[in-house]
Structure 1
Amino acid sequence: MSKRRSKRRFHPWRFLFKFFLVLTILCAAGLVASFAYVGLYDMPVLNTNVLTGDTSTVLMDTNENVIARLGSDERLPVKIKQVPQLVKDAFLAIEDIRFYQHHGVDLRAIIRAAWVNISGGELREGGSTITQQLIKISYLTPDRTFERKIQEIILSVQLERKYTKDEIFEMYLNRVYLGAGAYGIQSAAKIYFSKDINQLTLAETALLAGLPQAPSSYSPVQNPSAALERRNMVLDKMLKYNIIDEANYQMAKSEEVKLHYTPPKQTYDYPFFVDYVTDQLIDKYGEASVYKGGLTVYVTIDRELQKIAEAAMSNKNNYPSTVIASNGTAQPQGAAVFLDPHTGYIKAIVGGRQHTQARQLNRATQMWRQPGSTFKPIIAYGPAVEYKNMKPSTIVYDKPTTYGNWSPSNDDGIFRGAVSLRTALAKSINMVAVELLHEVSISQAKKFAVSLGIESLDEHDAGLGIALGGLHKGVTPLELAGAYGAFANQGVLVEPTAILKVKRPDGSVLEEDKPASRRVMKQTTAETMTDMLQSVVEKGTATAAAMERPVAGKTGTTDDNKDIWFVGYTPELLGAVWIGYDTPKAMPHAYGGTYPARMWKQVVSKALDGVAVARFPGTRAQDTVYVPKTTDDSVSDESEDKNTDNETTFDDTLLIPPAGETGKNDKKNNKDDNKDNNKHQPPVVKIEPDTPAEQNGDKGEETKEQTTPIEPILNKDTGANTGQEGD
């Protein structure tokens, strides 16, 4: 009798379960392998010098000259045996109570921190060990990514195998950043309390131990209430872990925070440029990495140009009458940015007349002000040339016009009739700028401005007043300089940059910047704008900036002369200069074509001394500009005061100087040589070829629009948005 082989029954669900189990295991293995690869790729190598040596960040120029060291002056290292037990216990209680039990990574602490943060509804604890924190501040960026976390874990385990616990703790206590420029516990004790660490009270010790998580947020100098709350949290932990008893706990908790604050040294070379770079680095990598990470940073500074700009900005003769404010700052203030428009490299930044403390207000990059007529090329003339194919010789009309309920006018009440586009820009005629914006449309013109890097425009900038620089927020000198860079670089915008490369202590490249560039307008548009902007300097509102080389630029003066500007460029260099009170205040008889234009010329002429004269690309249009000529030759002191730039007479002069005469100005265009008369204004004149016309007698550099607050057209959120222009 044959045996029947029993058949195994097929179970589809069992098969699917096994299949997906194997698939899950393979996926998990692949995921782990991927994470390991990502973590190991580009992972820094443990280096003893990084952990124990001078780890200040070094700023270097393109020739590898040291510009500054960030974090080198306030390091006071101590040996672990010199650190009082109470100080060590305080840091362990709040940062890593199981430091002497784990091997670099504490899974229990990670789980506990996650539970506390989730149950408490806020971030109260972190899961990183002291070893991980040391790795983070020594080698890694503060980015919260899988790659960085994997590298942190791997390096922490390696570190624990190479050094003893006491050695790791000593390195941590000497490297941890505790705010206010203090690196390490001894430095912090000196800066905050003017004490050595063995003199600290329990309350003072707890306050310092609470700083590593967020030195700025818990700063007892800047945020005393937050610092007090954090200190008490440290005391709570010390009581919980039986480090202190109830009596000492209550005594320390009732103790007031009494600082004997001694800020670190504040003076250093090229301060505003260094501050700007420092702020950018901290935004990317965090304070600990910048001040204690041993980075090498290559920057774009031109040291000589920076010194020249600083000297010009601090010279009181370059300002209207100076007063000293209650906070000790000289007023009015100033700011300037100079850059290479072809590379985007920032060559000099000066954010004020004096620098008194580290990372103080930088008016060149952190203060937004009304740009006045310097905005006209960006919002009106540039778009008109780009989208409407206008040329320097295009005839436009300076005439009474009503837009909705708004009837803008020139400050002197004169409308000059038909003028060329070049004339309108050279003399900064308000009515023409408003009409150009109206023809192009506000939406299209704003897109053009944004493409030039003007990021401060918002939904409030919706009225025609923006044609005259009346903006809701305003612009910074750096922002304005960057936008003009597109005109200077034949329509290609290169984003301004100050940082070229960042290296880790082991020499690996952490960051290498290549400034982003993009075409934002046609080449012909940029060349046309540069052509017309040269006329502004040759015979318009900015003759004070003229030199023995081609110069293009635009002046700007806001309502009541509260902000005065000049933005100009040569084929080699571009700069923006602003002057005004920190709290806007009228500056009578001060205009963009006076103090800012003269300061710009001082800086650029010295910077380009010995540099061969170059010409702007493109061919200048052969059109003629006519400016009205007054009939009364008498001059009064009042007219001199009102004409501080170049509101002088000239006939039907071709605005392209003859060969060899570039930059030479008729003395009649210089107020110091010949006073003007604007007491008698000419009638409306129609400009015709070969017919001399009169120069206008504008107040200051340009005509100024009335500031009637008509809501349908103007932006009522700020009184500046009427475009109140008078340069």
Structure 2
Amino acid sequence: MFAARASGLVKLLGLCLTAGVLLAAMVFPFVGGLGLASNRAADQVDQTSGDLAKGELPLVTTIQDMNGDPIAYLYDQYRIPLETKDIADTMKGAILAIEDKRFYEHQGVDWQGIARAAAKAGVDGGATQGASTLTQQYVKNYMAFVLGADNEQEAWEKATEATVGRKMREARVALQLEQQMTKDEILTGYLNIVPLGNQTYGVGAAAKAYFNTTADKLTVPQAALLAAIANRPSSLNPGASPDKALERRNIVIDKMRENGAFGADETEAKKKAEEFKAQPLGIVEDLQILPKGCVGAGDGPIYGFFCSYLLDYLRASGITNKQLQRGGLTIKTTMDPKATKAAKQSAEQQVPKTQNGIANVMSVVQPGTDKHRVRALVASRDYGNKAELGQVARPVPAEVLPFGPGSVNKIFTAAAALKNGVTGIDRKIKVPKVYNSKVYPNDGTAWRVQNAADYPEEMTLTQALATSPNTGFVILQEQAGLNNVVDMAYKLGMRETLTGVNRGAEPLKSDGSNGPSQGDWTKQNNAGSYTLGPGATSVLELANVAATIVSSGTWCPPSPVEKVIDRYGKDVPLKEAPCEQAVEPDLANSLAQGMSHDTTGSGTAATAASGSGWNRPAIGKTGTTEEHKSVAFLAATPQYAGAVMTYADGNNPQVICANPIRLCPGSSQGVFGGQVAAPTWFNAMKVIHEGLPVAPLPPAAPRYK
């Protein structure tokens, strides 16, 4: 009696599902309670089968340098997508033998398994029995590892929950799939999606990871091992549990023999099977897992800073984390490996990576009127997560650091003074030895400013930019107006720096609750010291300021990306800020001429320039903070712009001294920008400019002379 009822149940279930109809509540009352008869559920099933037929799986995103060479990979699932022809018959035979030997005979559903699940549900409310076909497993894996991308564990539990509802949804999708795809397409789809452990998904990635081979060259033992661990990669991990993996692999080999994979002659087939089973697992000693993320970038310690900035930039430009980790994008960047390696070598030459408490960072930007391409972001520190080795996993050459650039800020005072007609580059300004400012009072009394060296009482603005007297620029700032100086700094490129929280690296919140910004704070507090550069600074933005000046006043965002291409070869649009004419070309070109003497004669960077053999026209400006805890150098030719900052990056920043570079608490002989930051720039840029013609700086406009 029971057998007859079961047989009738199976037939009815098969007919209903074949017709594409979810079981109605009038036939199985419990189904209505599961909501399986609703249009919404049917629509979800249709959508799932349609998506499966498209075969759009999570893929690896590749980040390339400017030459098209890969430098980093991003992924949630390491997968190498394959076509049917790219997968060895041994692999196909192994998975069919152990998972679904009747795959080419059924229509996608194991009716007996569904019936057992339904009968079991009637007894204890669950559905723990019932084998799944390979098509159903394809559906299950898709629901877990594609639809459940945000939480794979939760999605896997849901996709494998022991309920009749889940079984029936899975069955209907499988039936529809068999109408939309060929058997070979389904088999290939399954072999591309199945988890195989150690971050690998699909046989393409697993073949590379475990055997350093391709899926079309898998031997019988190799294919059998992959089939053995399919869907059970944790418990059968061949590295952690080799004995269990070997036992299961040999079961697969026996199943392959039973399925006729080794020929019709039983004696010969058994002999081959035993030979295959006698072979070791054969996995490579070091699993060939694709490096992941910025720490795993091609030259991670070198390229990681650029990679980290790139990801921040892309997210701000509208690319989501899901696109980055699962979209299979190709990201063509602006990173120049030659420039990056030259800058890294120079940064370490001046400040060894092992130097306690001192970091040396450099950013390189290529000027232009259509784009400012970031060519290098490096530090004396290596990029990485090992703090005990001095590594840093933040884009320090690009982020706003809580250290000042010192007198580099005098550039903004000079530019504002030129713009407002206060002076010209060849006109003399006053340079008293000591100046008591009544415009910027200190606790109600005049602010006393003095120079770090002896200067003539008067000099041209060009001479002042080269030799950097403090008093002269405080007076110029008074005449040009502090607000105008701060606004000029923003226009030329100090944008994140000035819109971030005052004197720190923390971004300003949208509601301003942690504000005011550094720019607003400077204005509100009438902080005359701005021209002396004590506040937080982005080295990348300093480099971009130099790029703006030698681009005839055109500001562009410092962009690390040329284009983003999706898996289909189409460009992905980015929301990048447009270039803009920050200051008029005559002003920018005149400012460039005014800054052209720092590398020659008595300029503060002249010794560093001659020491490196530098012989090209360049703009430049050194900077040193009052306590000698940070120094900087900004400079550019028409071909490349860059900035360097050397700063005390320990938990308790101290005075930095030179010759040799070291921390020297309490010393009055601190380092200057021309002693370490400038040599870093020149030694790197000499290599970066190799093979380029010597380019002159543009002439100054008569009205700014």
TM-score of the two chains, using structure 1 as the length reference? 0.53
Query: Offset of 1:435 from its aligned partner?
Result: 1.4
Aligned to 1:534, the other structure's residue is in SS state coil
Tell me which of 423, 430, 436 is aligned to 1:401.
Answer: 436
Tell me which of 644, 652, 656 is aligned to 1:587.
Answer: 656
Aligned to 1:334, the other structure's residue is in SS state strand
Query: Offset of 1:282 from its aligned partner?
Result: 5.1
Query: Is 1:501 aligned to residue 541 of structure 2?
Result: no
For 1:167 and 1:512, how far apart are their aligned partners in 2?
Answer: 34
Q: Deviations over 1:620-664 (max 9, x none)?
A: 88999xxxxxxxxxxxxxxxxxxxxxxxxxxxxxxxxxxxxxxxx
Structure-2 residue corresponding to 1:336: 362
| Alignment-mate amino acid for residue 198 of structure 1 | S
For 1:449 and 1:76, how far apart are their aligned partners in 2?
Answer: 48
Question: Contact conserved, 2:424 with 2:704, CA < 8 A, in 1?
Answer: no
Query: Offset of 1:444 from its aligned partner?
Result: 2.0
Q: Pick closer, same or farther for the CA change 1:454–1:337 going to 2, 3 Å.
A: same
For 1:612 and 1:44, how far apart are their aligned partners in 2?
Answer: 55
How many residue pairs were aligned? 441
Query: Offset of 1:501 from its aligned partner?
Result: 1.0
Q: Pick closer, same or farther for the CA change 1:341–1:369 going to 2, 3 Å.
A: farther
Q: Pick closer, same or farther for the CA change 1:484–1:412 going to 2, 3 Å.
A: closer
Structure-2 residue corresponding to 1:616: 697
| Alignment-mate amino acid for residue 366 of structure 2 | D
Residues 269-418 of structure 1 mapped to structure 2, 5 A cutoff: 269=299, 270-281=303-314, 284-315=318-349, 318-319=350-351, 325=356, 331-342=357-368, 343-357=371-385, 360-388=393-421, 390-399=423-432, 400-403=435-438, 404=441, 405-412=445-452, 416-418=456-458
Q: Pick closer, same or farther for the CA change 1:389–1:169 going to 2, 3 Å.
A: farther
Aligned to 2:449, the other structure's residue is in SS state coil
For 2:193 and 2:598, how far apart are their aligned partners in 1?
Answer: 60
Q: Deviations over 1:110-156 (max 9, x none)?
A: xxxxxxxxxxxxxxxxxx97587369999xxxxxxxxxxxxxxxx99
Query: Offset of 1:505 from its aligned partner?
Result: 0.5
For 1:435 and 1:576, how far apart are their aligned partners in 2?
Answer: 26
Q: Deviations over 1:507-540 (max 9, x none)?
A: 1221257762111112121112111111111131
Question: Contact conserved, 1:378 with 1:483, CA < 8 A, in 2?
Answer: no
For 1:183 and 1:558, how far apart are their aligned partners in 2?
Answer: 51
For 1:183 and 1:406, how far apart are their aligned partners in 2?
Answer: 68
For 2:475 and 2:307, how far apart are their aligned partners in 1?
Answer: 43
Structure-2 residue corresponding to 1:439: 479
Tell me which of 534, 540, 556 is aligned to 1:470.
Answer: 534
Question: Contact conserved, 2:365 with 2:640, CA < 8 A, in 1?
Answer: yes
Query: Is 1:198 aligned to residue 265 of structure 2?
Result: no
| Alignment-mate amino acid for residue 575 of structure 1 | G
Query: Offset of 1:562 from its aligned partner?
Result: 0.9
For 1:545 and 1:158, how far apart are their aligned partners in 2?
Answer: 72
For 1:160 and 1:438, how far apart are their aligned partners in 2?
Answer: 79
For 1:302 and 1:288, how far apart are their aligned partners in 2?
Answer: 27
Query: Offset of 1:615 from its aligned partner?
Result: 0.6
Q: Pick closer, same or farther for the CA change 1:134–1:296 going to 2, 3 Å.
A: farther
For 2:179 and 2:459, how far apart are their aligned partners in 1?
Answer: 81
Query: Offset of 1:488 from its aligned partner?
Result: 1.1
Query: Offset of 1:597 from its aligned partner?
Result: 0.9
For 1:61 and 1:599, how far apart are their aligned partners in 2?
Answer: 23
Structure-2 residue corresponding to 1:511: 573
Query: Offset of 1:611 from its aligned partner?
Result: 1.4
Aligned to 2:642, the other structure's residue is in SS state strand
For 1:324 and 1:293, how far apart are their aligned partners in 2?
Answer: 40
For 2:315 and 2:579, how far apart are their aligned partners in 1?
Answer: 25
Structure-1 residue corresponding to 2:618: 551
Aligned to 1:509, the other structure's residue is in SS state coil
Structure-2 residue corresponding to 1:68: 72
Q: Deviations over 1:366-400 (max 9, x none)?
A: 34143333543443111111122521122221232
Q: Deviations over 1:663-686 (max 9, x none)?
A: xxxxxxxxxxxxxxxxxxxxxxxx
Structure-1 residue corresponding to 2:679: 598
| Alignment-mate amino acid for residue 328 of structure 2 | G
Aligned to 2:521, the other structure's residue is in SS state coil
For 2:383 and 2:60, how far apart are their aligned partners in 1?
Answer: 22
Structure-2 residue corresponding to 1:23: none
Query: Is 1:575 aligned to residue 589 of structure 2?
Result: no
For 2:702 and 2:448, how far apart are their aligned partners in 1?
Answer: 31
Paired-residue identity, %: 20
For 2:703 and 2:417, how far apart are their aligned partners in 1?
Answer: 19
| Alignment-mate amino acid for residue 296 of structure 2 | Q
Question: Contact conserved, 1:137 with 1:289, CA < 8 A, in 2?
Answer: no
Gaps of 5+ in 2: 1-49, 82-90, 100-131, 137-141, 153-172, 210-231, 238-290, 387-391, 499-516, 659-670
| Alignment-mate amino acid for residue 421 of structure 1 | L
For 1:156 and 1:508, how far apart are their aligned partners in 2?
Answer: 31
Structure-2 residue corresponding to 1:25: none
Q: Pick closer, same or farther for the CA change 1:541–1:423 going to 2, 3 Å.
A: same
Q: Pick closer, same or farther for the CA change 1:513–1:301 going to 2, 3 Å.
A: farther
Question: Contact conserved, 2:305 with 2:395, CA < 8 A, in 1?
Answer: yes
Question: Contact conserved, 2:425 with 2:460, CA < 8 A, in 1?
Answer: yes
| Alignment-mate amino acid for residue 347 of structure 1 | R
Aligned to 1:470, the other structure's residue is in SS state coil
Q: Pick closer, same or farther for the CA change 1:350–1:477 going to 2, 3 Å.
A: same
For 1:504 and 1:558, how far apart are their aligned partners in 2?
Answer: 46
Query: Offset of 1:441 from its aligned partner?
Result: 1.6
Question: Contact conserved, 2:360 with 2:645, CA < 8 A, in 1?
Answer: yes
Residues 98-109 of structure 1 mapped to structure 2, 5 A cutoff: none
Superposition RMSD in Å: 4.5
TM-score of the two chains, using structure 2 as the length reference? 0.54
Residues 221-260 of structure 1 mapped to structure 2, 5 A cutoff: none
Question: Contact conserved, 1:344 with 1:515, CA < 8 A, in 2?
Answer: no
Structure-1 residue corresponding to 2:264: none
For 2:307 and 2:571, how far apart are their aligned partners in 1?
Answer: 21
Query: Offset of 1:185 from its aligned partner?
Result: 12
| Alignment-mate amino acid for residue 378 of structure 2 | V
Structure-1 residue corresponding to 2:60: 56
Aligned to 1:360, the other structure's residue is in SS state coil
